A and B are shown apart, each in its own frame.
Chain A
């Protein structure tokens, strides 16, 4: 560690439901080194100034998806955002937008989790296979069809980025639809039709107006906007096919 520590001002949106009527900002002066992340800045505050500052974190390596915050108004993973990039200006951290604030930087994710659960995020085999038969084979192309959509870490930055979710919390939203698409595109899965009911529902893809910011903020290059919009086309096809053939399209 170098001797001459620099100081950065961190402005934190604080909210304690038991004592605050509404959120308010507080400023802390935090000494930092160039390798310190915004998360470490928050930890510094908790360790040294106020143990009641509340936020989620774990892995510190941008993979567990816990530490998302609004950093100067942009949803980011605080563990891979560095204080040095903001110094000497003040940095403001707030709970992820569009979610209810539970306390300080912690938001209520229960709605998001319900959405994840609702999309049937598991393989419903097209052809059953026993363990003795070994693995399913997947060509490089079949693999490429879905692999991008498997890399979502459920950080919900895309929800904090999507105004349509902010306006309508029932919207299934980018990450959950990306995961749904991941299973639909997997050659081992055969349940795309079952999942269509949700895709095409009022909570489904047509809430999206192609703002596209979800994909801009996604730290894992999942491109959820793409998943959502491809499924609009799929849902529209399904909608019209319904009229053409009794079998085509779901219910």
Chain B
């Protein structure tokens, strides 16, 4: 009879054991803020469907200090999401070869962040034009 008795360690609290994992959990948790924000927009959309009064109510609610605070938090969290999303991008993409050399991860992350910046400015510009 075999005397083996392999010991399986528990995974409890694994994410607290290494700074790398803590960071991972933080960036994963930005999803909560994305969800919250999308939920607010969903409510807004429903209100829009209910007519002008409902919509104005929603707009007013956005002006409350609570809402403003929340949105500042969302902004920070989602900015962090943007940063980490592009930070991970190099590992998720097939290698890109330019001029016989592999494009480095910093370049990919950098291009992603640049794209986000451009997208944001374009969005702002469009909104501006529509609003005028």
Direct A–B touching in the complex (beta carbon < 8 Å)? Answer: yes
A residues with a Cβ closer than 8 A to B are 15, 17-18, 22-23, 73-74, 97-98, 100-102, 108, 141, 144, 163, 166-167, 209-213, 215-216, 223, 225-226, 229-230, 232-233
Residues of B1-34 contacting chain A, CB below 8 A: 3-9, 11, 14-15, 17-18, 20-21, 24, 28
B53 within 8 A of A: no
Which 6 residue pairs are nearest across A and B when measured between Cβ atoms? Answer: A100-B6, A17-B5, A229-B92, A225-B91, A101-B7, A226-B91
21 contacts between A and B (CB under 8 A): A17-B5, A17-B7, A22-B7, A73-B17, A98-B9, A98-B11, A100-B7, A141-B97, A144-B97, A144-B102, A210-B92, A212-B88, A213-B21, A213-B24, A216-B20, A225-B91, A226-B92, A226-B93, A229-B93, A230-B92, A230-B93
Q: Specify which of A73, A141, A163 lies most central, judged by the most chain B CB atoms within 10 Å of its CB.
A: A163
Contact B91 A215 (CB under 8 A): yes
Q: Which residues of B contact A (CB under 8 A)?
A: 3-9, 11, 14-15, 17-18, 20-21, 24, 28, 88, 90-95, 97, 102
Q: In the bound complex, how far is the Cα of B20 from the Cα of A212, in angstroms?
A: 10
Residues in A neighbouring B11, C-beta threshold 8 A: 98, 163, 166-167
